[in-house]
Structure 1
Amino acid sequence: MIDVEDLIALVRNYNPRTNSELIRRAYDYGKRMHEGQFRHSGEPYFTHPVAVAAILTEQQLDDATIVTALLHDTIEDTRSTYAEVAALFGTDVAELVDGVTKLTNLQLSSSASKQAENFRKLFMAMSKDLRVILVKLADRLHNMRTIKSMRPDKQAQKARETMDIFAPLAGRMGMQWMREELEDLAFKVLNAEARTSIIRRFVTLQKESGDVIPRITTDIRIELEKAQIEADVFGRAKRPYSIWRKMQEKQLAFSRLSDIYGFRIITRSEADCYRVLGVIHQRWRAVPGRFKDYISQPKSNGYRSIHTTVSARDGKRVEVQIRTRQMHEVAEAGVAAHWSYREGVRAQNPFAVDPAKWIAQLTERFEEGDHDEFLENVKLEMYTDQVFCFSPKGDVVKLPKGATPIDYAYAIHTRIGNSCVGAKVDGIRVPLWTRLKNGQSIEIITAAGQRPQATWLDIVITGRAKGAIRKSLREDDRERFVKLGAELARVAFEHVGRKVSDKALRTAAKTLGLSDDTELLARLGSAELTAREVIAALYPELALKQADEVDSRRPVIGLAADQNFRRAHCCQPLPGERIVGITYRGQGVVVHSIDCPALEEVEEQPARWVDLHWQSGRHAAVNDVSLKLTIANDAGVLGHICTLIGQQKANISDMRFVDRKPDFYSLVIEVELRDVEHLHTLLTALEAESDVAQVERWRDLSRKP
């Protein structure tokens, strides 16, 4: 473990004016709080916060961030409190530590809807102070570096979470080195065989052709010296995961893969960047379509560089990145460059973006829409590369790779997107599904009265366009749905001998948790809500009488015609509960409750999941449910309990005693029920009995699904 003086020395290397006493106090406090705690590897737990702090010194971050790293687990895992941290180290540090604690508590690998809400919370935490996510990323990086000591199932969970969330987030923030390392560490867990295969092939390639990196580096330096350009040249082989991804995207074998080597040229000035580009292209043949100028068109996170791919020595394709020293600092630190220190003062890098503006730009499109849309939009924004297109006036519009003219139109203004009827690319009329390329000039043709089409959702790729189209479609359909819903409500009320009224609809809306009666009618007309549900909200008994009997052989919706199904033994799901189907070889589809612990075993196998829900209507009382009761050991008590269960229209199919005592005994009774409401009615009746000490639903998780 790095001792406190060595850590202070790391900070002092870039910030001679560091508050060494503050860091020393934080180190001692964190060590004291974590005393007696150990990591899975057996090391003292405090080695982890110290390692996280050391990672952040590599980004030359301020004292508050370093101190936060040392304390980031104290509020969550020790007796420390927010108030105590604030009193000892200031409100700024306490807020940062609290922010990291809240991020740690987000279960980002949970179900999609919950994940969407957690993503929203993650971005909210980022918007308050981006240093929170910098500490969290460093925390995740160290955990991934030391992941071998965890259980295999936890390794897979953390690796998938890293690949899906933290790696792309680091890339979006401009911290490309961290993204690459996180991806490769996760790749090592998720597909160790593929990674080993790539490394083995790399070794074979080096034996056959020698290490080409020093040779090409020397070639570049010689050409720059001839042109009298001062610059530093660095070369490296790309990481195994980066190579694997290229192989998958291009569907190429390793032997056919090109540009697995990358070179960076760091110049003294921006003008020299373009001089170097000329030298490189004069000496080696440029690969068409592989040139990007992020100096004239920077990325939103401040990234600036020229990218080109050339056929270098022996015809090997190599990627060359050209940028100045200040551009390189931002390329390495990304948005974190805003807090970087040099010689005791915050570095004044003109290319570092304001984090507040960056996060506002990233989240401005996610204010509306439901959680699933938010999650979809966030992932679209985080994973995409960019293309740069021009308006007829010469303004530059940044779009993700694969964007269409409709995406472009919505990037200009929602009104332009909604009224789009056609587009011209470089003066030529093109279909709206055309994929745009770098440098193209786009002109959008609009028409009064035009409205977005539902088919556009399959064409566009940006979150902004998808959100605007969905909103417009909802608005267009709303009036029609309200009218249809009013007619459906009238018929449904007449069917049960009641008259529909505004007051009745408002009461039903309130019962169903909707804003008003108009919203209720809109959902009724769009089939998001059934007339039976509206009637049930006001007249439960009438709805039950009117309910159609559900075919017990096919009580769930979502199965293919040839699929068999059965309820899982472990969780015994009932109609009315949220369910999911899991395919088992030779067993068809097994229906589980959505909260069944057995689902953890198939969490990483999405192909086996089947989206199911119960048929609406009255289900037959044929669904076995286990109840565990503790009852008085008196004459006639058991018979009375059985009679009571029968009075609730529930049939007893099995019974077994678990424990016998002189005064009480426990037993598990299998009863056949209609649905979850039937279960609640039965439990209430049993709990009211004085001879019943305890009753609960019994789920035997040891039983196989």
Structure 2
Amino acid sequence: MKRSAPAPARSGSGVDVLERDVAPDVEAAYQCEIAAKVHACDPKADVDLINVAFHLAAQAHGIQRRDNGDPYITHPVAVAGILADYRLDVASIVTGLLHDVIEDTPVKLAQIESRFGKEIAGLVDGVTKLTRLELQSDRTKQAENFRKLVLAMSKDIRVLLVKLADRLHNMRTLHFVRDPDRRKRISRETMEIYAPLAERIGMDAIKTELQTLAFTQLEPEAYATIQARLNFLRGQGADVIDEVRRELIRVCKQGGVDIVELTGREKSPFSIWEKMHRRNVAFEQLSDIMAFRIVVATQCDCYAALGAVHSAYPVIAGRFKDYISTAKSNGYQSLHTGVTLREPRNQKIEVQIRTAEMNDVAENGVASHWVYKAPEKKLDGTEVQRFRWVQDLLEILDNSDAPDEFLDNTKMELYADQVFCFTPKGQLIQLPRGATPVDFAYAVHSQVGDTCVGAKINGRLMPLRHHLQNGDQVEVMTARGGTPSPQWERFVVTGKARARIRRFIHQEQRQQSRDAGRAELTKAFRQAGVDGSEKALEPALKALKIGALDDLYINIGNGNLTARDVVHAAYPELRQAPRAPRIIPTLLPRGRSPTRQDHDMPVTGLVPGMAFSFAGCCHPVPGDEIVGIVTTGKGVTIHNRECQTLTVFAATPERYIDVDWNYEAVGKGGVNGVASGQTARISVIAANERTALADMANAIAKQDGAIANLKIVNRQRDFMEVLVDVDVRDIAHLSKVIVGLRGLKEIKGVERATGG
């Protein structure tokens, strides 16, 4: 949150601090509040250490103030209070008090370590907002800061707990921020990043409050409307929750189930709004505006209570979920069902049934591991390995080339309804809804995903783009030397799979550019009759300000640098006077007149004067192996031999004509130096950005290609699929165009369309 500028520092107790601005009696009240919470949970807790941390934070923050005018110390005190409410350990609470000290005050990390030890210093360092880099955009800054958070919480999950408490208090006071754009930016970041993270570690109350507070800023009208409807329902039936609660207790007792606790509540406004949009239904059609939680003694009692409820009320189809036999990835366990109350209310409600231990995990999530009454359950940094989703985020981080890409892939990983599938050995794999066998393979292991060639689902061979369902048994088929297909990126839904596939595509494109650039440069040196060894290239690297040979080859392969430029940089004496500008002739039409002379025809093997055309399905270009197909009344259509359309003519081999390219006409330079120009079709997967098409056209023009036609065949929120017809001289020219496109940052995949 915004704070006033710090006053000049003064020394105190060996630590540079700011001037004080909080009355001693107020400080004492804050201090007693935290100490009382901690002592209530654990009488043996080191309250003295918390007091030392409080005094240091109060002195260090001095006269700093928040947007509402309160002394800044109120913020770390509130954060520590939230952590104490969740009964976290002393180290976490001390970290909450000190989490802004390093960033905002003269106190150094070494001073924290000397006074509080390595554990607390490490936590403070993990939570501290490191000095922000001067990056290109707010989105890039957000991605960079989130990357640091992932690295920190991978070492100790308590870093995330403190960060969530910090964000929760900032959201509670967000309405004091005057700038509406800043309020919306913070709310959007909370909704997209911090609320899903809270859900992933089971902190349901924090998740719900974060979503509600962000919702009021992002959709104020929708929030007000839903809140008004909820207020109206409360007025219509003020005692309905108590009445239903008493009825459920009676039903469970009749079924022989002893209830530990039974509570009822309304769903949050954001949860209602989200379900209205997701299901495309009106407010009145929602079946779970009210939810009731039944807590029982044992797991067997959970199923007994479920039977009693289902026997007493009509069940809403499709609303039953068993998260006890198959727990969520954050450890959440419960039975969920939807029923309709009998007359006269005829109201639909949701019922959740769980044990007290399950309820503790549902309420406190990861924080339940730090309950003072059960210290043996406490997690340390090494045990965080069992949080598989944290490791998945780390793999995404390793495989993402840019901060923005990491942020996008991470959001894919965090936002998902789940399906539960199994390996042939019975291992449970949790995936987002809509996941495919490729996502499953990468969830098992990155190497399994890379070498996947097929999959059997419940014993049947199924396509790799098939959507998995709950309970599917998936057997991944792999092949030694197998590699990811660029096509997979179109249908995978997990961030881990997409990051790995993109990394492979990027490496392949670099390798192709490197090979093409090396070959082109070798040819240029040979034509110039000079030495092109690595030693001879050293002066060129310095002159062109390029660090490594591989980068030089890639720049040539991508078309950012010509081989001639490199030769001249290595041998300046070979530079010639500027040549006259090259005149690019008009490309010849694709159809050919029967009056043309045979030596001018681009293909051989045809009867002189025979009409012909090039197939629009495969777009053959010089260098392809081709075949002619005779069509009555239309002459001969020239196809690429790999064209899938040729299967239609397999039963009529008499229609095939052996043809080949007339390379005297369409070879290097064409007839008398004039290129014939044929149209090739390429399929491009590009990021859905404003400049993508313009950059694509520029890259094609830079390689002397000309766009004959362009069509966007699929446009999604984050990518688009484009078919581009490009006029090129031959297959080698087409390859240069493709390599040039692959060098663009917006391009995620380029392939030649060969027919179909």
Q: How does the TM-score come out when normalised to structure 1?
A: 0.70
Partner of 1:270: 299
Q: Which residue of 1 aligns with 2:377?
A: 348
Q: 2:243 pairs with 215, 227, 234, which one?
A: 215
Partner of 2:713: none
**Which letter maps to 1:392?**
P
155-164 vs 422-431, which moves further: 422-431
State the AA in 1 paired with 2:515.
K
Counting matched residue pairs gives 558
Partner of 2:745: none
| 1:298 corresponding residue in structure 2 | 327
Alignment partner, residue 347 of structure 2: 316
Letter in structure 2 aligned against 1:225: K
Which residue does 1:253 correspond to in 2?
282
Q: 1:105 to 1:137 in 2, by over 3 A?
A: farther
Distance 1:426 1:17, change over 3 A: same
186, 211, 224: which one pairs with 1:196?
A: 224
Partner of 1:442: 474
Give the direction of change, closer, same or farther, for the CA distance of 1:17–1:520 in structure 2 (3 Å limit).
Answer: same
Counterpart residue identity of residue 215, structure 1:
E
- Pick closer, same or farther for the CA change 1:378–1:20 going to 2, 3 Å: same
Superposition map of 1:461-610 within 5 A: 461-474=493-506, 480-490=512-522, 500-503=532-535, 516-518=548-550, 520-522=552-554, 524-525=556-557, 527=558, 529-531=560-562, 535=566, 538=569
Asked whether 1:7 is paired with 2:38, we answer no
- Partners of 2:131 and 2:294 lie apart in 1 by 38
| Contact 2:287–2:350 (Cα < 8 Å) also in 1 | no
Q: Which residue of 2 aligns with 1:60?
A: 87
| Shift of residue 369, structure 1, vs aligned partner | 3.6
Once the two structures are overlaid, the 10-residue window that deviates more, 116-125 or 357-366, is 357-366
Amino acid in structure 2 at the alignment position of 1:489:
L
Gaps of 5+ in 1: 550-605, 619-705
Aligned partner of 1:284 in structure 2 is 313
Provide the residue aligned with 2:435 in structure 1. Answer: 403
Structure 2 stretches lacking a partner, 5+ long: 1-25, 583-686, 703-756
Mapped to 1, the partners of 2:38 and 2:580 lie a distance apart of 71
Shift of 1:535: 4.0
Q: Report the 3-state secondary structure (helix = DSSP H, G, I; strand = E; otherwise coil) of the residue aligned with 1:285.
A: coil
Amino acid at match of 1:75: I
When normalised by structure 2's length, the TM-score is 0.66
Question: Residues 482 and 49 from structure 1, CA distance in 2 versus in 1: closer, same or farther, beyond 3 angstroms?
Answer: closer
Call closer, same or farther: CA 1:415–1:73 in 2, change over 3 Å. Answer: closer
Letter in 2 for 1:18: A
Other structure's SS at 2:128 match: helix
Deviation at 1:444, TM superposition (A): 3.9
Instruction: Select the residue among 77, 81, 106 that pairs with 1:50.
Output: 77
Q: Could you say what the CA RMSD is over the residues aligned between the two structures, in angstroms?
A: 3.9
* Structure 1 residue 326 corresponds to structure 2 residue 357: yes
Show the counterpart of 1:683. none
- 1:427/1:36 Cα in 2 relative to 1: closer, same or farther (>3 Å)? same
Q: Which residue of 2 aligns with 1:426?
A: 458
What is the CA-CA distance between 1:83 and the residue it aligns to?
A: 2.9
The alpha-carbon distance between structure 1 residues 245 and 510, as it changes in their structure 2 partners (threshold 3 A), is: farther
Q: How far off is 1:32 after superposition?
A: 2.3
Mapped partners of 1:12, 1:473: distance in 2: 56
Q: Which secondary structure does the structure 2 equivalent of 1:41 belong to? A: coil
Deviates further, 508-517 or 39-48: 508-517
Cα pair 1:109 1:115 within 8 Å, conserved: no
What letter corresponds to residue 31 of structure 1 in structure 2? A
In the alignment, residue 431 of structure 2 is paired with which amino acid?
L
- Give deviations 1:416-453, integer Å, cap 9, x for gaps: 44454544433455433222221123344556776533
Letter in 2 for 1:460: V
Asked whether 1:132 is paired with 2:132, we answer: no
Take 1:470 and 1:496, find their aligned partners in 2: how far apart are those partners?
A: 39
Within-5 A mapping of 1:675-690 = none
Distance 1:475 1:403, change over 3 A: same
Aligned residue number for residue 157 of structure 1:
185
- Cα displacement (A) at 1:181: 0.8
The Cα offsets for residues 599-621 of structure 1, whole Å up to 9 and x where unpaired, read as xxxxxxx9996567696999xxx
Q: CA, structure 1 residues 316+519, in 2 after alignment: closer, same or farther (shift >3 Å)?
A: farther
Look up the equivalent residue of 2:553 and give its one-letter code: L
TM-aligned CA deviation for residue 182 of structure 1: 0.7
Structure 1 residues 419 and 547, CA, compared in 2 at 3 Å: closer, same or farther? farther
Q: Determine if contact 2:540/2:570 at 8 Å carries over to the other structure.
A: no
Q: Are the counterparts in 1 of residues 537 and 570 from structure 2 also a CA contact under 8 Å?
A: no
Deviation larger for 250-259 or 354-363? 354-363
Residues 70 and 516 of structure 1: CA distance in aligned 2, closer, same or farther (over 3 Å)? same
Quote the residue 2:729 is aligned against.
none
Tell me whether 329-338 or 512-521 shows the greater mean CA deviation. 512-521
Equivalent-residue separation in structure 1 for 2:233 and 2:580 (angstroms): 71
Contact 2:333 2:354 in 1 (8 A): yes
Say whether residues 1:145 and 2:172 are aligned partners. yes
Match of 2:655 in 1: none
Displacement after TM superposition at 1:471 (Å): 4.2
- Could you tell me which amino acid in structure 2 is paired with residue 340 of structure 1? V
Residue deviations 1:182-238 (CA, integer Å, cap 9, x gap) = 111011111111110111122233344555332332222111222232221122111
Partner residue, 2:670: none
Partner letter of residue 142 of structure 1?
H
Deviation at 1:505? 5.5
Query: What is the CA deviation profile of residues 11-68 of structure 1, one whole-angstrom value per residue up to 9, with x for unaligned ones?
Result: 1111111222222222222222223222111111111111111111111011121122
CA distance in 2, matches of 1:321, 1:355: 29
1:26 aligns with 2:53: yes
Aligned partners of 1:282, 1:510: CA distance in 2, in Å? Answer: 82
- Distance, in Å, in 2 between the alignment partners of 1:609 and 1:498 is 45
Q: Distance in 1 between matches of 2:223 and 2:248?
A: 30
Aligned to 1:174: 202
* CA deviation map 1:460-481 (0-9, x unaligned): 1112322343344456556544
Who is 2:272 aligned against?
243
| Distance in structure 1 (CA, Å) of the matches to 2:576 and 2:205 | 61
Indicate how the Cα distance of structure 1 residues 607 and 449 shifts in structure 2: closer, same or farther if over 3 A, else same. closer
Q: CA contact under 8 A between 1:490 and 1:499: conserved in structure 2?
A: no
Shift of 1:141: 0.6
Cα drift, residue 71 of structure 1: 2.0
Residues 216, 608 of structure 1: alpha-carbon distance in 2 compared, 3 angstrom cutoff: farther
Report Cα offsets for 1:620-650 as digits up to 9, x if no partner.
Answer: xxxxxxxxxxxxxxxxxxxxxxxxxxxxxxx
Alignment correspondent of 1:388: 420
| 8 Å contact from structure 2 (residues 79, 166) kept in 1 | yes
The answer to whether the 8 A contact 1:452-1:469 is kept is: yes
SS in 1 for 2:354: strand
Give 3-state SS (helix, strand or coil) of 1:185's partner: helix
Q: 1:415 deviation in Å?
A: 5.1
Q: Tell me the alpha carbon deviations over residues 457-516 of structure 1, each in whole angstroms, 9 at most, x when there is no partner.
A: 111111232234334445655654443222333566689997644345577678889784
- The answer on whether the counterparts of 1:366 and 1:377 sit within 8 Å (CA) in structure 2 is no
1:339 aligns with 2:373: no
Query: 2:106 matched to which residue of 1?
Result: 79
**Conserved? CA contact 1:340–1:347, under 8 Å:** no
Change (3 A) 1:294 1:110: farther
Deviates more, 1:269-278 or 1:529-538: 529-538
